[in-house]
Amino acid sequence: MFTVGKTALRPAARNCVSALKIHQHRAFNSTLTANQSSSKGFNFIHFIVIGSFSVGTLSALTLSTKLRNDDTKMATKVEGSQPFKENQWQKDLETQPQNSLKPDQNQPTFELGLYEASQKEKQEIQEKYRREKRQRKFTGWIFRVGFVLQDWLYEPIVTFGRFLHLSVIFVPVFTLYPITFFGKTNKLGERSGAVLWYKLLRIAAELGGASFIKLGQWAASRTDIFSKGLCIELSKLHSNSKEHSFRQTKKILNEAFHGIDFNEVFDEFPESPIGCGAIAQVYLAKMNKRFVKSDNEHDRLVAVKVVHPRVEKNISRDLKIMSFFANLIDCIPTMEWLSLPQEVEQFSILMNLQLDLRIESYNLNKFREKFADSTDVMFPKPRYSSRKVLIEDRIYGVSMNDILKVKHTNHDKMLKYISDRLIDSFLKMMILDNFTHADLHPGNIFVKFIKADKNHKVPLNTNEFEVDRLSSQLNQMQTPELSKTLTQLLREGYVPQLCFIDAGLVTELDDRNRFNFISLFNALAQFDGYKAGELMIERSKTPETAVNTEVFKLKVERLVSKVKERTFTLGTVSIGDLLDSMLGMVRSHHVRMEGDFVSIVVAILILEGICRQLDPEIDLFARSIPILRQISFQEGKLILKDMNHLSMIKVWLTLEARQFVNASVSDIHRLVKCDGLAPNY
């Protein structure tokens, strides 16, 4: 989202509908009026109770705001991966706080470590705030009453009001579910009634607000659980989020900058954001020279991401409602295989990861570190981050959405060039680094075109303003003109540079899931379909819930055999089609895969789909060989200690043999076609 261009901004529209608010004091008053006594003693007690309750209620009603403000002030003291001190945000540099969001080393992955550290910090802030208020000498009792009222009266009432609001939206939709059994069947095997119901569900999710839009987008990636037709429809979800005011943005930024005036930090800051999502909105700004540790004028151009006020509390209430219904559905016979309570818990983690922008800052720096030796791929540099604010380099390029509109021709080397770099960078993330961008759709990928150096690579030092001007010109072109210009740029020695943005979510496989993934990849590379099916069942979440397991294994074996036949008839292998078909089988046979495992599979589907539009001859198996070679040569000493590396070596050797055989068959085919084996003189 941190870009500018003709289609640079994804329509973000996560409309968080306001929760129903019920005035407690009026409700309590009516109850007392119905039950009050005429005795003077009771009236006196009544007066004391009402007075105490009024004070307590005021405390309860204002507590949320105070707690949020205090949370913001304390959270902004904990900086992101680039120290605040480095950018001279305070006059007294020695007093500036250092980054204290340290990943929990006891977690299986880096990302979960950041999540646990963020949640622990938030809980400690809340507990410290309440402890300080309770210990006040004269007013402590007021806060104690207020906290009890907030936890046991206000929050339940507001959450119930939100529940009623969501019921009005979703109950009519679920009442219409029987229409899914009627109508003609389309190519995907979905009845027309089902297609209509999917559209109604999508509209309801958009009306439900940020949490349900995010839930729908997450569900769209889980083709192992939901039907393909539903996933396709939910993938169209867009938010209608209402932008928060510029005044609120300035307030959040001023708190983040520890009292430094907003106008001192930025020379230019438009009042309207360039994009508004379910969780945050984004501005393009120009920073003051004082706060940029660089003489490069281009470094003053930044993107500023600001989290919506109150969005965290609203999402928390929605997650409670989702958890309630997930547990309710889990009690229904034959539905336990879905493991909905665990899925809601996983979704809750994904939402909370995006609510702390320091985590995105960490991710960006880690990607920059892993791609430090590559000039072909770049991630924006984070300048400053707090829980609610992220400032990073502005990315200006041509959206991948526009690149995909360019029609591929047999002589279009630029598109193939982009495709190769995209798939190679993805395979590096997935296989070599085990740190994969979890939201690699075309809207998060941009391409810059830069004059190459002697080695036909992107040079280390480029004139960013010239690159921006070229990107601006390309963004103004229609598709036919853009196609011709890209071909001309290649002739003039320009090469593409891929820019990835929006790294709030990443996928890391823990040791168990990584071993399972490599084992499955190895079985597929060896075209052992039966073994692949067996592995998918044995290493699923709940092997006991799988149905017709032997039929499932035979189906996978038949599918892989078809791919094998295509391989040795000179066709390219689409691992995306293979995995997509497998997910359909997984759903029908109730094989529950790990969420991170499915995320990797979905990422493969999306990336191969993008690359195949750019280069129809792309072969993911073939492109993975150089990465596997790199592992084999670099990690040779670890092979006997680490089964992951040993499995990777097996995959590499299998793919090398396949590549050799395929190349040999191709040579013979070409010789026969050209009459090279027995030429007629």
Q: What's the confidence (pLDDT) of residue 100? A: 58
Which pTM does this prediction carry?
0.76
Q: Are strands 494-500 and 377-378 parallel, antiparallel or unpaired?
A: parallel
Q: What's the confidence (pLDDT) of residue 337? A: 65
Give the residue from 537, 521, 516 showing the smallest Cα distance to 579.
521
Q: List, run by run, the mean pLDDT of 10-residue segments along the chain (681 residues).
A: 40 34 36 39 40 42 44 39 36 38 83 89 89 89 90 91 92 91 84 91 88 84 77 78 88 85 89 88 91 83 93 90 85 71 85 91 92 90 90 92 78 82 88 86 90 78 87 89 88 90 87 77 75 81 80 84 62 62 76 74 77 79 69 48 48 50 46 47 42
**Distant-in-sequence, close-in-space partners of 479: CB < 8 Å, separation ≥ 6:** 402, 405, 406, 407
Q: Is the dihedral of CA 173, 177, 183, 184 positive or negative?
A: positive
Helix axes 110-134, 40-75, angle to 10 degrees: 140
3-state DSSP call for residue 60?
A: helix
**Distant-in-sequence, close-in-space partners of 375: CB < 8 Å, separation ≥ 6:** 457, 458, 459, 460, 497
Tokens of 294: 């660089």
Distance separating the N- and C-terminal Cα atoms of the chain: 64
Distance CA 662, CA 516 (A): 27
- Alpha helical stretches, state H, 446-507: 464-475, 479-491
> How big is the CA angle at 221 (ends 219 and 227), to the nearest 5 degrees?
70
Exposure pattern of 445-479 as b/e (b: 16+ CB <10 Å)? bbbbbbbbeeeeebeeebebeebbebbeebbebee
Tokens of 143: 């806060």
**Residue 264: strand pairing partners:** none
Q: What's the confidence (pLDDT) of residue 491? A: 87
